Amino acid sequence: MPLVPLKDLLTQAEKGGYAVGAFNCNNMEIVQSIIAAAEAEKSPVVIQASQGAIKYAGLEYITALVKVAAENTHVPVALHLDHGTSFEQTMRCIRYGFTSVMIDGSKLPLEENIALTNKVLDVARAVGVSVEAELGKIGGTEDDITVEAWEASLTDPEEAKTFVESTGVDALAIAIGTAHGQYKGEPKLDFERLKKVRSLVNIPIVLHGSSGVPEEAIKEAISLGVRKVNIDTNIREAFVRGARAVMEEKPQEIDPRKILGPAREEMTETIREKIRIFGSNDKI
Ligand code: G3H
Ligand code: 13P
Ligand code: ZN
């Protein structure tokens, strides 16, 4: 079926009390593994591309891969720009057929973040494309910051209320203690903050940096209103695990298909597990 807007998937997720997995792609094998997992679990799915993915594979290739994938499956698929930081980038993605874009103005002062988000929303609304924004700073696990700076980076619930009232975005990414990349220890999520945000804003919440977050914490976050869960790092790990196993076992192997095939299978398994944790399985 044709690509669907993220908003449609989130509306269903809200009704069903589950979250939709948003999986980052960079190449054909990753796209195929996301689709295979979604089909096996009978789940809707978001395939997302970061600016880095677009730089690596090219916007034309990413769009073509995901469009073909969606058109050849019965599970609903949204194609989403992950962490778009410029108006121009979001417009390029919309023009190529993305059904959802994230405009990440989280590094900007509140008023500028609102203004940039509204600029994107004006166009996106007119063409039926969904918009995710970010408030608070979701950093990387490599960021070396003080506890005070870390606390200050978390989303202020009152600001979230102002932000949502001033924009009307379809989904809001908030910072409650997760980070992008591999965690050194176990991440501690600020559920009280999430509760407070959800009591003030009635829109789907997005959890970034979800790889490596324990299953129980993810489920708790979903019970408190998270409706989109972003996963990239765990897919990268699965890819390398699958490819490395072949290369270690058969160092003479020179057929890329014999290396990328097992990598693809490993990713599919990882994504299937995530889908079940998010509760979006058996919804198609
Ligand atoms: O949000 C971060 C995602 O993991 C994308 O990472 O910018 O290296 O593609 P990337
Ligand atoms: P991870 O690095 O935890 O997979 O987070 C991915 C993400 O948030 C993409 O936006
Ligand atoms: Zn992210």
Beta partners for residue 102, in sequence order: 132
The angle at the Cα of 273, spanning 183 to 139, to the nearest 5 degrees, equals: 25
- pTM as predicted: 0.98
Residue whose CA lies nearest to ligand 2 atom number 9: 230
Catalytic residue check, 143: no
Which residue has the least CA distance to atom 1 on ligand 2? 209
Residue to substitute in 27, 30, 83, 230 for testing ligand 1 pocket (most ligand atoms within 8 angstroms of CB): 83
Domains and CATH numbers, the chain: 6-278 (3.20.20.70)
User: By the 8 A CB rule, do 263 and 239 touch?
Assistant: yes
Q: Which atom of ligand 1 is nearest to the CA of 26?
A: 9
Rounded mean pLDDT of 20-44? 99
Provide mean pLDDT across the span 7-18. Answer: 98
CA distances (Å), origin 70, targets 4, 38, 47, 65, 252: 9, 11, 10, 9, 36
For a ligand 2 pocket test, name from 132, 142, 233, 240 the mutation site with the most ligand atoms within 8 angstroms of its C-beta: 233
Nearest ligand 2 atom to alpha carbon 235? 4
Among the residue ranges 60-64, 139-143, 220-224, the one predicted with the least confidence is 139-143
Whether 207 and 218 have beta carbons less than 8 Å apart is answered as yes
**Mean of all residue pLDDT scores within the chain:** 98
When mean pLDDT is compared across 74-88, 101-115, 147-161, 215-229, the lowest value belongs to: 147-161
DSSP 96-122: HT-SEEEE--TTS-HHHHHHHHHHHHH
Asked whether the predicted pLDDT for residue 144 surpasses 90, the reply is: no
Query: What does the pLDDT average to over 70-78?
Result: 98
Has residue 130 got a pLDDT over 90?
A: yes
Residues in contact with ligand 1 by the CB-under-6-Å rule are: 24, 50, 52-53, 82-83, 180, 232
Which is catalytic among the residues 8, 82, 143, 255? 82
Report which protein residue has its CA nearest ligand 1's atom 3.
232
Length of the chain: 284
Within 8 A by CB and 6+ apart from 132, the residues are 6, 80, 100, 101, 102, 103, 169, 170, 171, 172, 173, 206, 228
**Residue reference for tokens 């988000």:** 117
